[in-house]
Structures are given as C-alpha cells and as structure tokens.
Amino acid sequence: MPEPRQPPAPIRTDASNPFAHHTMAVRVPSIVRAVAAKNPDYPPSVQAALEVLAEAMEANALIPPPAPDWPDYATWRSQWEAHAGETWGGAEWFFAEVYLYRLLIAAVRWYETGRDPFAPDKAAELANSTLWNGLAAALSLPDGDDRARLDSLLTMALWGNRIDLSLASVAAHGTHAHDDDLLADDHMAALDALLNNPPGAVHIVCDNAGTELALDLALADGLLDGAAETVTMHLKAHPTFVSDAILLDVEAFLARLADDWYPANHGLADRLNAARLDGRLRLAPHSIWNSAYFLRDFPYEALAWFAGAALVITKGDLNYRRLVGDAVWPADTPFAAVTGFFPAPLLALRTLKSDPITGLAPGLAERLDAESPGWRTNGRCGVMQFKP
C-alpha cells in the first residue's frame, strides 16, 4: 500500500478557491432564504434569524461563536475556537460550511421543535418518479449471481449520489451515466475483498435522503443476502446540507415502503424491518457526522467503530472531503496513500461536487480541465475508489 501522505492545506472560502467562495457568498445564503420561503408558517422570530444569518454571510461578517445553551456547545466551542476571528469569506471552507448549517438548525430551533427545515424538499423528492423508478430497477435485478447483483447495486448507489436537493444542476444529470463519467473504478477489487472472506460487518456512511437513501437501503438489503453479517448505516444526528439523511428520513421511507401497493417494495420493507429487529441492520445516527472534524481527526473511539470491518462504504461529496482533508491534492495522488490512516477496507462512492480529488490516472485531470471545465464540481463525473 502507498505510504500515507501529508495533506495540503484545506480549501478556504476566499478568492483562492472560486467555487468555495461562490458557495458561501451566494449559494448558501440563498439556501438559508429558501428555508424561510418554504416554511412560511415559521414565526417571525425564526424568519428574522434566518435573514440575519443570510445577510451576515453576504456581508462577510465574523463567524459567531456557538451559544452556551446549545446541547452540543462544548463540542462546537472547541471547533469554533480553532477558527476564531475568521469571516465567512475568509475561513476554512469545511468548517465554515458545516458550522453554517449548525447555526441554521439553531435559528429554526430544531432541538426544541424537532421540525426539519428541509422537510418540504424531502417530501417532494419522496414523491419523485426518479426515486421509485430507480428503486424498481434495483429490486428487479436477477437473483443467482451475488457478485453481479452487488456490482449493479454499488453502481446504482454511486449515481444515486447525484440526486442532491441543494444542487439542482447536479440532480439534473439523473442516475443514468455514460461510460466516460466514471473517472476511477476500483469497486470490483472491493467486491473481491468482501466476497472472498466470510461475511462480516459492513458500514455505509450515508449522504442524501430520497433517491440516494432508497438505493443505499437496496444495497444494504443485497449485502445482507449473504455477503455481510451486519450492515450499519451511519446517519447525521440533525438535518443538514438540505438533503442529508437523518434517522427520521429512514423511518419515513420505510413507512412509505410498507404502505406501498407494489409487492417488491413490501418485500424490501419486510426484509429491512426484520433485519433491524434481529440486529443485522443497524441505524446509527451520531453528531460526529454533523461536526467539522476531518476523518483523520476523529476521536479514537469513533474511528474504532470501523476496526475489524469487512468493508466501509462512504457516500458522497462531503464524506469524500472529510476523508481527504478537503484539500486540493495533485489529482494522481493515490487514494490509498491519502486515506491510509483509516482502520478498515474503504470504498468511496462519490459524484464530484467540489474540487478535491485523488486517485486519478496521470494526465486525466489535465485533459478534463481542457475539455470539460467544471468537471470537478458539476456532478457529472464520479469515482469508486478502494483502499484495502
């Protein structure tokens, strides 16, 4: 395995990275205002708090400290102190973006009300034919060849990551991909490592609710059909990034499945609910996934969750940024060298929605820069990268 590499400095929100700068100055304030517009019955105090947050970002104000009455105050205070004095337009991007969503959760008083500020978006996605057509395709895969079925389910889980409710232009690519959309593909090596050993523990670090979550649950169902002894799905502890999956999203989806007239959906709901009851499927929400820590900086006890796992699958762009330190590495830096700290076999499934990328063939990034500007951020391209 390649030797672990020292990471470059993380991306910042100033002009040194135009995409991060535009995200924090323009796109995220519009998301904050959309929360107010899509929840018109929020009281005036909540509406005002959201507008104050949006205006502060646009004005490049200082990033404020957490409030002492937050239930996770101590954790966030230590993270904020490492960035005290930074402004929204002059901060480490990963911290600023993740912390912004924690401030949004405070503004809407989620810990008091339990009301998901992104519920209107999630409800619309749950009614979308893209979700149900994609799930039907996953559930209609032929039985009899476990490797071929898991191959298809992993590929579907990858392209399901395009359906991101905070990025309509990315979601517009849909779940159908062309051959040249996949820039790196190690997933058969990951399947070999999984299937050539006795069934063990598989972890899925989830990203989006809706279509992606549906396909992740279909993947979990396929894994539990002999390839894995247990599947643990790691979820955010509170709503964030518009469509990131929390426990209530899984519960809502399973309830919808159980009520559906389509027999295959009934069968999936029955299998998943039975697996939850007997402990083969575990849903594991945790606030660490809402934090601004990179994976290499996770507390020992959190990384220890994965020690001894047969395979850990991380989903999506934010988890990839968390894996690689949200830094712009030379694109041909081996993925295994960047993620060598991780204590288990690791498969990253990600469609590209930000600049960090590793593990590409030499010269590929330069060719894409010339032929397809925006390839790092527009969601068309994807990777399936494995660290043994």
Q: What is the pLDDT of residue 11?
A: 98
Contact 116, 109 (CB under 8 A): no
Share of the chain above pLDDT 90, in %: 88
Which of 142-146, 166-170, 298-302, 327-331 bottoms out in mean pLDDT, i.e. has the lowest? 166-170
- Evaluate if residue 364 carries a pLDDT over 80: yes
All structural domains of the chain: 18-113 (1.20.930.60), 119-387 (3.40.50.10880)
Split at pLDDT 50, 70, 90, the class of 7 is confident
What is the distance between the alpha carbons of residues 316 and 158, in angstroms, rounded to a whole number?
A: 8
What is the distance between the alpha carbons of residues 281 and 226, in angstroms, rounded to a whole number?
A: 13
Residue of 307, 385, 290, 382 lying closest to 341 (CA atoms): 307
Q: Residue 100 is encoded by which pair of tokens?
A: 């912004």
Split at pLDDT 50, 70, 90, the class of 271 is very high
pLDDT tens digits for 82-137? 999 999 999 999 999 999 999 999 999 999 999 999 999 999 999 988 899 999 99
Angle at 207 between CA 272 and CA 35, to 5 degrees: 115
Helix (H, G, I), strand (E, B) or coil at 227: coil
Average pLDDT, the chain: 94
Q: What is the pLDDT of residue 180?
A: 84
Contact 387, 346 (CB under 8 A): yes
Residue of 354, 365, 357 lying closest to 385 (CA atoms): 357
Contact 160, 216 (CB under 8 A): yes
Contact 210, 138 (CB under 8 A): no
Q: What is the pLDDT of residue 173?
A: 56
- Evaluate if residue 177 carries a pLDDT over 90: no
pLDDT tens digits for 324-347? 999 999 999 999 999 999 999 999
DSSP per-residue letters across 63-123: PPPPPTT-TTHHHHHHHHHTTTT-BTTSSBHHHHHHHHHHHHHHHTTHHHH---TTHHHHH
- Evaluate if residue 174 carries a pLDDT over 90: no
Split at pLDDT 50, 70, 90, the class of 378 is very high
What is the distance between the alpha carbons of residues 8 and 135, in angstroms, rounded to a whole number?
A: 39
Q: Residue 50 is encoded by which pair of tokens?
A: 């959201």
Close Cβ partners of 347 (under 8 Å, ≥ 6 residues apart): 154, 186, 187, 190, 311, 312, 313, 314, 384, 385, 386
Q: What is the pLDDT of residue 99?
A: 98
Contact 349, 379 (CB under 8 A): no
Q: Residue 342 is encoded by which pair of tokens?
A: 């991780």
